[in-house]
Every structure is written in structure tokens, then in C-alpha cells.
Amino acid sequence: MYSSDAGVVGQWHRVHHGAFATGGSGLIFMEATGVVPEGRISIGCPGIWNDEQVAAFKPITAFAHAMGTHMGIQLAHAGRKGSTTRPGADHPFATAEEGGWETVSASATAYHGMPTPRALTIEEIHSLTKSFAQAATRAVEAGFDVIELHAAHGYLFHQFYSPLSNDRTDEYGGSFENRTRFLLETTKAVRDAIPTGTPLFVRISASDWVEGGWTIEESIALCREFKILGVDLIDVSSGGNVHNAPIKPGPGYQVPFSESIRSQAQIMTSAVGMIWQPELAQEIVASGKADAVMLGREMLRNPHWAQMAAEKLGVKISVPIQYERARTL
């Protein structure tokens, strides 16, 4: 699943914020799947909080497996960034009549331009940890091979560990230990709920990019805790919790975060963010800055990116039989 002598070209890619790495069979991810109805981003987002959803996912994972591909799922709770309408709607936030809900967060602090959330009680935090574990169990039952916790981009876990969105005074706020408690407790619960051999990933925002916010040093400390809990790989992104953070994106701009976490926390990482060129992806993995490179928007722009990259780098990969006649290798 990770880097190999073949280089970055392999068949591990995920749909939307897609993954792409080396070796083995393919891996496609189902992204941002709510563990409770109020955990979704929009009223149109998927969920896995009941048995009917498990049954609906099974034909999808079975088809992927029949094609020689593994399936992963990203378990998520949007927190204060939830209850939006579907893309293309003429208004941003869903009404109760449309299926909208009151959002929750670490504290009653709104994200830029969004409704003010309600602060979760300690009992609700504990309940959500159980919901994540139950969703992970359902995901395995549904045929998913990899579980990822989405703790990045200003969603609920990030709202807890960032001091910019967490002003609690109880055991879930204040110190680094307290702000990361919810995520670490949930990680342990999920790891305990799934089979030992099932890979567990965590997606984090390595930095808030603003003074007084979450830092790369804190991310490294957090990832050392993840390793102890049995997390297999850190999906390293950044930002998302502050709307006007002075981020200057460019090709590979988040790779230094992945490299720092990989070397200092001694845990496998994936690099993301404007990694469009096969040569750049190859260099990131070959030089040890990450164990995998993940693609999102580029896979939306070019669903055949993997095949193109393989041919550019001179690596022969498996392709659907319909594409065999188009090979250049």
C-alpha cells in the first residue's frame, strides 16, 4: 500500500481528496461520511449510522473488490461547519424544513459567516466517541478495508484541538492534553472496535497557519500519541479552521508538514496539496518525505491521472481491459 521500488506509481487512489501511492491493489476512499445525522457537512452527504446504510454500501464495496480494488471510508463529524445545503443551492444553510439541524462544537463560537453552534456537553462528547466506534464497526461490516478519522479542515475534532475554537474550561479544553482528549479517546475506541489487521488512518490539519493557533510542534506531539494507539498512517493536511489564514498554496506546499511528522513522530504519513506532477509525487515518496501521496482535485480534473503518471514514469500498472489498446508501454 505504501512506497516501493516501483516508485510513486501504483493503484492506490481515492475519490475526492483521493489517495495515490505505490504497490498493491487499488484503494478508493468514500470521503466525509457522517457518524450521526448531525455530523454531516450538508444535507446531501452520506452517513453510516444505521444498518440500512450498511446494506446500501455493501454492493459498492463488493463491486470494488471484484475489480481488484480495496475500499476505505473516512468517518467524520463536521461540527460547526455542518447543516449546509447541497452544492449549487441558492442559499448556504439548510432550514429545518429542508433537513437542517442545530450545529455543535467544542465551544459556542461560530466559523466565519456560519450560524453559532452549541457547545457539546461532556456526556455528548462521550456519546460521539461511541458513535465513531459503532460507525467503524458498521464500516467493516459493509466491506470497507481501511478506516480513516477526519480530524482536519476545521471539522469537529479540529475544533477541539485548536485553541482558536476551543475555550472550554473542563477536561476537554485549555491544555494540549485536554484539547486533544476527545480525538485520542475516539481513536482508541475505533482502534479497539475494528479488527487488528484493519488499517487505521487519521487526517489532521498540521497547522492553523496563524499565530496563537494549532502548530506543527503540537501535531508532532499528537502523532506520537497516535502511534502508541495503533494508528497506521497520518494523512497530513493543514488549515481550515480560520477563514482568512495567510496560506500561500503552491505545488507541494504542505509536504514539509508530512516530512516533519514522519521523521519526528516516527509514523507513516501521506502528503497532500497541489501535487499534480508525477515527477513531484515520485520525488516526495522516493526522498522519504512521505510514504504516500494523495490526490483530490487533480483526480476530479483527470480521472486517468494514475495511468498517465505510470506511463510518464515508465511503470506498467493494471488497467481495465478496455484501456489496454491505448497503452504506450
Q: Mind listing the pLDDT tens digit for each residue in 230-277?
A: 999 999 999 999 999 999 999 999 999 999 999 999 999 999 999 999
The model's confidence at residue 12, banded by pLDDT at 50, 70 and 90, is very low
Cβ neighbors of 238 (< 8 A, separation 6 or more) are 152, 205, 206, 207, 208, 209, 247, 254, 257, 273
Report the C-alpha gap between 256 and 236 in whole angstroms: 10
* Nine cell digits for residue 145: 478495508
The model's confidence at residue 319, banded by pLDDT at 50, 70 and 90, is confident
The class level of CATH for 31-253+263-271 reads alpha beta
* Nine cell digits for residue 233: 498512517
Amino acid letter for position 154: G
Kindly report whether the global pTM for this prediction surpasses the value 0.85. yes
Other CB atoms within 10 A of residue 212 CB = 10
- What are the start-end ranges of the E strands in the chain? 19-20, 26-34, 69-76, 104-105, 118-119, 146-151, 200-205, 233-237, 268-271, 292-294
* Nine cell digits for residue 167: 475555550
CA 301-200-11 angle, to 5 degrees, is 40
- The mean pLDDT value for 125-152 works out to 98
The model's confidence at residue 14, banded by pLDDT at 50, 70 and 90, is very low
The residues that are catalytic are 155
Residue extents of the structural domains in the chain: 31-253+263-271
C-beta separation of 163 from 179 below 8 A: yes
What is the pLDDT at residue 13? 36
Summarize pLDDT for 143-200 with one digit per residue, the tens: 999 999 999 999 999 999 999 999 999 999 999 999 999 999 999 999 999 999 999 9
Q: Is the pLDDT of residue 289 over 90?
A: yes
C-beta separation of 201 from 148 below 8 A: yes
Report the C-alpha gap between 259 and 271 in whole angstroms: 8
* Average pLDDT of the chain to the nearest whole number: 91
Least confident of 5-19, 26-40, 58-72: 5-19
Closest to 272 measured CA to CA, from 42, 74, 38: 74
